[in-house]
Chain A
């Protein structure tokens, strides 16, 4: 029996030991990563905790950004059957849904990082802590600004964790547009209190937020159905402060804004800071894949051949491919034309630097994967492209990768603030202004693009409206101009959009080929498709007579599944919320 006693002793010991050591044995926090509790302890950690708010959560918005703002507005077409081109978008549209995902993800991340830094027990320098908190709020305001202008009435989500704990997230009503604007303004004002006057390279500062605030006031001014003079005055004042006091200057040369090496340009106020360097998906800019023609990169990852700047956009620059000779665009005075669309004969020294520069026609017929002209309108885009791997290394110091570049995306440029100032200064009557400051601001933008352009005696609202289109084409802005105007003048918007030349050219490829091979431009056999009728623009307006007409896109269907209060037919105006008393920062 001796051995039995020993065995029982051993068993007993084993049980005792296993009990005692259990808690250590079972305590296993994340082993290969930092976590929320042990990070945000130093200034550097807080700053790096904010960096990604400038890119990753926005990734899913890239397509929607151009499809909504440029394609719907009639500046660009991704193809003749794109629902954004034909105004047949429904609530399950992939790009629409991803856009919504992205905007709310940015808001969720901003809230999370804001909370984490606020709760940090680390010994942080107050100015750094404030800067980081301010960046979170300014980006959150930007995301809401896109939401309200895209979907109209949306819920306000102030704090994700609190909503989660309360468990009432599926009963959120839509809120008034004016309340959402108020929330954006409140958030931006808080951000401005926190942000430094001058941020470090590429980061948001006080004046960036103020520039956005000016733009928000300009948009909000019409939300009640008539233009509000006070809002416009605020927009003008804030814009003027940025112009006068931010210390930022416009680039001298328009095309330089978009050079990869120039991506920290002072002109950029709100900029998505993508990078190709790294491994994590969503760090990067993928625009060249959607917009670039097959063969421009080294990855066989571009498929933008079948898109192009619309005929209407070409005509806005004064270009009529079927009627003019190449000289009309080759010697066009507006430098923005060359920087915006590729046309036959255009060359780009910033692309294919290792191959001696990029010649549009030569590329189409000698190098393109799908040889020849495929763009339905004969004009491929320039903005958002970078060229090949060599160009990328030259400009950004690192290689590009499949669907990945470091090209920044400008959401708000200083030039926009100049035009906001000019427009807001016209007041609620939108009558022409001969105020020198207004003309100065307008001409600062126009003169850069067209050196020596005549200084007019007065500037009209229509002048600014058109200038905005030329200056900001392909920068994700135009549809939102229509949206804000539709608040108070829907008929103007419907009329302008319906009158657009949104269809394709027929027979243009032959014209290009002949021109490339013989130098002769003969467009007599080509034609514009005027058989396809204009899309039913009004179908994207809130319809009946009881509510004001304005543009909106349907809320993603899947969210309506969760929360029927978001349905397109429910609660058209939304609920009112007293923003400044209900929410606190």
Chain B
């Protein structure tokens, strides 16, 4: 900026030279200072003499000095975001000015997609989130910031791993498609997701087999560059994105330069993450007692001398303490911005480094951004945004049967982490091998590196005032490298003598061309805009992978060094879309507003017959507060009733699902090609229709604002993979079964209410308090599935082939499905007098290892047919919350600021799948929760019955103990809800039942922060503009009745159609942070 000032001074000198001394004598120098309402000097304010050419801008301290020709002239002060002021000099030679924020122009303009709109003109439903709200959370990925902040937006963190993803649902789950995430658009460029599963990145099934994983496509983006987010919720708002808008659209705006001297900002933060909660697992002494009871009741035949006297034992290994760590996190960001009224820039560079609370996981990001705005000609503006991001993360398998958390919890406390010689220990007993979780976490490498260069360049051509032609070219070039390395490892008796290495590189290129012309005009009380345009994009990707085994050592990871048979993989593909769109808005006297949107999309994902589809929407709004009868009502500052209807689409299924590609399969008879899927040439768009009514009310000069929305959205022709019974040949290993066809198979309705209330209850000179509360209520219903076929439903699996959820027509999605537990069988009579258990012996001979037995769970005979079987499974709870809420408060007192953010969820159930393994009591090798002490304890009814000669159990076989004699066994603690311990578990007590369904409601102190901003005058002496220090605690307190680590369990990473299943989910940590923000 110095250069510009210098130029200006040179110009002035030249001017003086031209006009000569006589002119100079007539001139007067006016000096002064410009500041904002807080007393902060404003840099870069343009100061001009009205009617004259030229002018000056204020320096870093807000001072200006301007030569004016006429001492009576009017001076004009202009500054972006501030109301322009015109002040008559009236002969004064010093003029200090205070500029006020221009509320009409700054706050009310919102990004709407292919343009901006005044907020007061909006007729659709959208919600804004500005930087200040995002800054209150400690986030590594921008999707994490959405939680609880915006009504109608449900955000659940998929994992507590650093940089991990969140599942975001705008107004409920509206599609079965795994990709129900909203569309993210950054400065007009659609964010390229590059897939969401571990397999997409070449990590195979190392992170699980689900379509979702903990990898977040958004974590490559630096949240510190974002200035605001607009979440478009209803169809009239999202319709302009047509086929891509069905799941909602999040429009993200990054920071841009402001005219003025260069301003540098540094933001830094240090944080410590901790996993505070521990599950109450048995220690060694408790485990020994547990083992001994197995021996006492003949479940295990060999007593262990090691466990003879539990009181002599220590507490053993606490595996939870071993796998969790206090993890350090730091992030730093430098930015510079400035410019003049023609050219403005914003550049930033940031880094983040976060360790995971589970050992062996971490996330690092490095990012750069440059945003440039230039006014090339009075009719031509140019913008250029470029960002480069680089991330590196070490991942872990957590939410799985074979995940670190499950292994850590089930590992016996009798095993040390390390052997005496320092090597890892492991347990391998009678075919049961529990790998050392520490070794797995630290030694097995699952790493992912990603790089991305994204940007766009655009020109706004204004041939004459009312017309703007926006031409834009977007691009995104990305690459990733997924690396899986299983080293040679010796864990006690378990050893892996051959290592394996697989490296996959993905690359992708995306480009888009956009052209749209906007015409805006008004006459009288009518104003309107018309916009029409075109867009086309293409996305091309390929990958190559190499895998090999038997590398000479673990030191160098390069598959080509291996001695095994190397295998290579390669694939490529592309998709494209071509679109045309138009929008018209109309405003009559700021009272009646209307918007009509049309979009016509063609997608390469569909066959020739169904390639194109049109989407329409309209919205109407009535600002009744502008009506004459309300205009003079003081307490009502704004009142608007909105009404909208629209269609959007979803084509998000991947390419060529309308055909049947072949894939290679080797066989001993030679190479083979196999059909991968059953084709469905008729596959077409999923469409969604949404109806929205909204009411905006502002009272007492906008001190209280209330927004209420009601919506009804229905997805039709849902794109999904048909779920078929296994006899259709479509179940099992993906490389052996046929894939079920994708098609349009049903409809889902989401209906709900959203409330947002914000207020500034206290506003005084030294203290103010602002508060915002949001409440979202959504009801979800699967309306139909593949009409006309009767018994159709969607199944979700827990691990492997456990059916855990069933979505039936007429119900909400993802209901847990299983048996209901009525209690435990008290004794033989109870078994005889209850509905017949599945393992009720046909020949009447009971055996504690192979038939139902006292102490087993009594399941409810739901269909009252006298028999307990598969048909008694029923809906045992919905994972979907009845409502979710957020409540944010910010306080300012003098230089202090503080905020408290509370969020919560009510009414959703969580399936504690982990607990199923921690209470199954069918192995003497795996540790269990202390809770199993409450299990059904068996005792003899007749303690003195003589068994010395054996007693016939009914089939001629003799039994010699009371515990093998079904007629002499009872449960000694009749009120227990937990079954007996049994190695064989013939009654399948750990089957899917409501025993594991828990209330997942919670209320959470999500963020609490306090900051102090140093006095400007004080810090200015250090040439510092602004200095703020703060401390923040995230997830400090969670109130819940849920037994597991964390009730916030979102979408499953193991399988589709499952929500709220906790199989050892990586828990979200409590984070303590301190930070510093300084600008100069």
Contacts and interface: CB of A to CB of B under 8 A. Distances in A.
Given A30-B659, A34-B662, A170 B725 contact: yes
A275 B729 contact: no
B287 to A, nearest CB: 19
A14 interface: yes
Interface string A1-17: 10110010001001100
Given A104-B728, A105-B737, A536 B841 contact: yes
Given A277-B565, A556-B801, A28 B575 contact: yes
B573 A25 contact: no
A193 B96 CA distance: 104
Nearest to A534: B957
Contacts of B663: 33, 280
B430 interface: yes
Interface residues of B, number: 122
A51 B671 contact: yes
A36 interface: yes
Interface in B937-974: 953, 957
Contacts of A161: 678
Interface string B838-879: 110111010101110000000000000101011101000000
Interface in A9-41: 11, 14-15, 18, 22-23, 25-37, 39
Interface in A75-100: 79, 81, 86-88, 90-92, 94, 97-98, 100
B731 A105 contact: yes
A277 B870 CA distance: 42
Interface in A99-118: 100-102, 104-109, 111-113, 116
Given A102-B732, A569-B867, A155 B727 contact: yes
Nearest to A22: B578
A28 B576 contact: yes
Contacts of A7: 461, 463, 469
A113 B662 CA distance: 11
Interface string A304-317: 01110000000000
B795 A26 contact: no
A56 to B, nearest CB: 5
Contact of A105 (B494, B732, B797, B873): B732
A562 B791 contact: yes
Contacts of B469: 7, 11
B870 A557 contact: yes
B727 A374 contact: no
Contact of A169 (B464, B669, B725, B817): B725
A408 B668 contact: yes
Nearest to A94: B800
A101 B737 contact: yes
Given A51-B671, A94-B801, A536-B847, A37 B659 contact: yes
Contacts of B668: 54-55, 202, 263, 273-275, 406, 408
A48 B674 CA distance: 9
Given A101-B726, A568-B870, A273 B737 contact: no
Interface string B787-810: 011111101010011110010000
A105 B665 CA distance: 15
Contact of B735 (A39, A163, A167, A280): A280
Contacts of A157: 727-729
Majority secondary structure, B binding face: loop
B659 A29 contact: yes
B986 interface: yes
Interface stretch (A328-336, A356-364, A538-546): A538-546
Contact of B534 (A18, A87, A541): A18
Contacts of B731: 100-101, 104-105
Given A86-B984, A172-B727, A306 B430 contact: yes
A558 B795 contact: yes
Interface stretch (A237-245, A295-303, A430-438): A295-303
B1040 to A, nearest CB: 30
B104 interface: no
A203 B669 contact: yes
B675 A112 contact: yes
A278 interface: yes
A564 B984 contact: no
B666 A275 contact: yes
B679 interface: yes
B551 to A, nearest CB: 13
Nearest to B729: A108
Contact of B733 (A59, A398, A557, A567): A59
Interface in A519-561: 529, 531-536, 538-539, 541, 543, 556-561
Contacts of A280: 663-666, 735
16 contacts: A26-B602, A30-B655, A33-B676, A34-B661, A36-B659, A37-B659, A51-B670, A88-B986, A104-B731, A171-B790, A280-B666, A406-B668, A536-B841, A536-B842, A536-B850, A539-B850
Interface of B: 301, 428, 430-431, 433, 461, 463-464, 469, 493-498, 500, 515, 517, 534, 536, 538, 547, 549-550, 564-565, 567-578, 580, 602-604, 608, 611, 655-656, 659-676, 678-679, 722-733, 735-738, 741, 786, 788-793, 795, 797, 800-803, 806, 817, 838-839, 841-843, 845, 847, 849-851, 865, 867, 869-871, 873, 922, 953, 957, 983-984, 986, 988, 991
Given A34-B662, A112-B738, A169-B727, 8 more contacts: A7-B469, A86-B984, A104-B726, A109-B675, A167-B789, A281-B733, A281-B735, A558-B803
Q: Which 6 A-B pairs have the closest CB atoms?
A: A108-B729, A278-B666, A101-B732, A279-B567, A306-B431, A51-B672
